[in-house]
């Protein structure tokens, strides 16, 4: 029996692209898109979307929340000076200062999407949300109780988990879940496709040949550096435009996507949009202006139009997942 996975990448405000692709697929399916999958995995902004879908919200609702609150989460910042004493002061502040944003508006938006008090255990499908436990120094996967050994995370607030997976270094403060502090899951699994497959096999009892994966990106922004920067890159060069973070996120996502295509062949489809050099400047992780919004929505609609007649996508939208055991147990308790 087919076991279908939806895997959503991280990418800051570029997650609007993901949400719009999902909203278009949702219209084609004629039902909430979360009801088409046996397991949903998501990292960072993809984790926020995954949590929203898993808790029964539509992709359209999630997309609209990003549109309304984008500029509140990522307010415009003045262009930093490039030369002179002001440029040096700006660099000094970037090195010794705190994160760019305090995260309060992100939290407000997250609570609109998943609820302020909603628990992960209230999800309607299996969920997998990567994050980095900085207190314990380990990778942590937040999970619904879809296996007998998975009992702790179901009692955690979904909003706390959403903040943990999206606590991107430089951009946001570390997030607290319980007594531990967390950083963005994109540092280890910005594209959580392989993590989701591992979960399906080892915790959901699935056979590899029965697994199909629909992976959705946030536009493939390049992370290469021009030769004009030379070889002696220090804090200034790596911190400009958060190059170090973008590189970490980008390289492992590229590697995972490459391996998944080879391993699963026609049982793996990645929906994304390669951006031009001009687009890459226009769709940064924390750029949420009206112009960027229009660009992301247009790219997403183009991506959907290229994919909507794909046989894999058509079959994916017709898939009827088997209800997970934790949902059956919850239903039995209400009788």
Report the domain count for the chain: 1
What pLDDT does 43 receive? Answer: 98
What pLDDT does 302 receive? Answer: 97
Name the residues annotated as catalytic.
44, 184
Distance (Å, whole) CA 27 – CA 265: 27
Tokens of 128: 């997998």
Q: Coil, strand or helix: which one is 243?
A: helix
What pLDDT does 242 receive? Answer: 66
Distance (Å, whole) CA 273 – CA 253: 14
Tokens of 126: 């299996």
Tokens of 28: 């084609």
Distance (Å, whole) CA 99 – CA 173: 6
What pLDDT does 97 receive? Answer: 67
Residue 308 sits in a domain whose CATH number is 3.40.1090.10
What does pTM read for this prediction?
0.91
> 146 is in which domain, residue-wise?
3-334
Q: Residue 167 in contact with residue 184, Cβ under 8 Å?
A: yes
Q: Helix axis angle, 15-29 relative to 59-73, nearest 10°?
A: 160
335 residues of the chain, pLDDT tens digit each: 899 999 999 999 999 999 999 999 999 999 999 999 999 999 999 999 999 999 999 999 999 999 999 999 999 865 655 566 665 555 555 556 678 899 999 999 999 999 999 999 999 999 999 999 999 999 999 999 999 899 999 999 999 999 999 999 989 999 999 999 999 999 999 999 999 999 999 999 999 999 999 999 999 766 677 777 778 777 767 766 667 777 877 788 888 888 999 999 999 999 999 765 555 555 567 888 999 999 999 999 999 999 999 999 999 999 999 888 887 677 666 55
Tell me whether strands 138-143 and 211-216 are parallel, antiparallel or unpaired: unpaired
pLDDT digits (tens, 9 = 90+) for 132-147: 999 999 999 999 999 9
What pLDDT does 326 receive? Answer: 83
Distance (Å, whole) CA 256 – CA 241: 24
Comparing CA positions, the residue from 278, 237, 258, 193 lying closest to residue 9 is 193
């Amino acid at each position: 029996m087919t076991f279908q996975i939806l895997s959503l990448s991280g990418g800051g405000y570029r997650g609007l692209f993901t949400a719009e692709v999902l909203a278009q697929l949702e219209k084609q399916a004629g039902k909430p898109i979360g009801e088409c999958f046996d397991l949903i995995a998501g990292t960072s902004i993809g984790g926020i979307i995954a949590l929203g879908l898993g808790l029964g919200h539509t992709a359209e609702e999630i997309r609209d929340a990003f549109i309304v609150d984008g500029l509140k989460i990522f307010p415009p910042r003045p262009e930093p000076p490039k030369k002179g004493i002001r440029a040096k002061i700006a660099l000094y502040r970037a090195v010794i200062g705190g994160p760019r944003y305090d995260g309060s508006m992100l939290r407000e938006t997250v609570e609109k999407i998943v609820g302020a008090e909603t628990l992960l255990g209230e999800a309607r499908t299996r969920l997998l949300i990567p994050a980095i436990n900085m207190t314990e120094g380990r990778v942590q996967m937040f999970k619904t109780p879809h296996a007998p050994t998975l009992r702790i995370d179901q009692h955690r607030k979904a909003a706390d988990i959403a903040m943990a997976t999206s606590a991107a270094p430089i951009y946001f403060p570390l997030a607290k879940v319980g007594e531990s502090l967390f950083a963005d899951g994109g540092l280890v699994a910005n594209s959580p496709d392989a993590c989701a497959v591992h979960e399906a096999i080892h915790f959901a009892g699935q056979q590899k040949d029965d697994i199909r994966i629909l992976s959705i990106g946030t536009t493939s922004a390049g992370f290469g550096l021009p030769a004009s920067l030379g070889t002696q890159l220090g804090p200034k060069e790596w911190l400009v435009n958060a190059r170090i973070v973008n590189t970490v996120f980008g390289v492992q996502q590229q590697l995972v996507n490459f391996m998944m295509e080879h391993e699963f062949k026609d049982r793996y489809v990645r929906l994304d949009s390669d951006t031009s050099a001009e687009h890459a400047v226009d769709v940064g992780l924390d750029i949420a202006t009206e112009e960027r919004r229009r660009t992301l929505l247009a790219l997403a609609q183009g991506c959907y139009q290229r994919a909507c007649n794909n046989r894999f996508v058509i079959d994916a939208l017709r898939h009827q997942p088997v209800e997970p055991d934790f949902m059956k147990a919850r239903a039995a308790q209400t009788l």
